[in-house]
Amino acid sequence: MYYISSVYASCDVKIVAVASRSFSSNSTLRAELLELYPESRFNETGRTLKGQELVEFLAGAEKAIIGLEYLTEELLAQLPSLKVVGKYGVGLDKIDFEAMRRFDIRMGWTPGVNKRSVAELALTFMLTTLRQLGAMNMDLRRGIWRTRPAAQLTGKTVGILGCGNVGKDLVRLLAPFGCRVLVHDIVDYPEFYSMTGVISVGLDALLSEADVVTLHLPLNSSTVGILDVERLKKMKKGSVLINTARGGLVDETALKQLLIEGHLLAAAFDVFATEPPEDEELLNLVQFLGSPHIGGGTREAVLEMGRAAIEGLNRHFPAEHFFEIC
């Protein structure tokens, strides 16, 4: 059973502003936070707050829980009371840590808390796209009764781009399928590779050999646009691309063209460069399957991420701690 450290009982700070809409809409997390911080306030809009609306919501709070909100220098400069941020979720690409350092704001963050939820979605996408279930479901909705060529995941070559918490968990989920698993990561994990039989390869080799390519990278200056048009063209003909990581990793316009031309069998994305996505042509392709950024949205993951964020209000680190991570 999950419990929250009794150290909170001595907490002097009474006001916590919870900007995260997912945390705010969860009755269990609200109750657990209110027990510790009775004067906490929650985002009741059902939207991700931005700009001045976010400034006004966070104003006066010494501690905050944020999810998909942007913490920019301009915003933080208007929040002199803010001292600690508890991060709901694992993505750090929307946070200006240099600005947090200058304003002496600390952060509590737990990596990997939603790894099983995201890994299961990636596996779901693999099975669904290889069987062309999305395309055949669309056929049915259009009154078309036909089958499409389908394949099993068993025995396929799966390329995992990014072998951090989610990537490693996905390797474990793939074990019963007898897949040949290729990985590419700037960090070497020799013990994990040896233990699991995973093969570490260069990016070009992974793209050209994999039947399924799945992305599990953070979004930063070294990964933005990592799958541009040239790299997408290097993917094996008839292969599948899956992105449950971050929007901005893939050139979505180039992806659309390769799907239309038939170079790729299918693609399944949970994240987009712009959210909600605006390219209706891509979304309406029978070869494309999309979901509205739900990778960490299972009931179990929401509780884990929320409780980690609460824990982060009292177990936190200076911004410099996150410089290498980002």
Active site residues: 246, 275, 293
Distance between CA 259 and CA 247 in Å, rounded?
18
Structure tokens at 227: 């799958």
Strand ranges, E, within 27-156: 41-42, 63-66, 84-87, 106-108
CA distances from 284 to 5, 205, 289, 290 (A): 48, 31, 9, 10
DSSP state of 227: B
Residues in the chain: 326
All residues at 6 or more sequence positions from 101 whose CB lies less than 8 Å from its CB, including other chains:
318, 319, 320
**The tokens of 187 are what?**
């960090």
Distances (CA, A) of 38 to 11, 18, 88, 303: 11, 13, 19, 19
Which 3 state secondary structure label does DSSP give 242? strand
**Per-residue DSSP letter, 211:** S
* Three-state DSSP state, 255: helix
Closest CA to 295 of 235, 214, 239, 231: 214
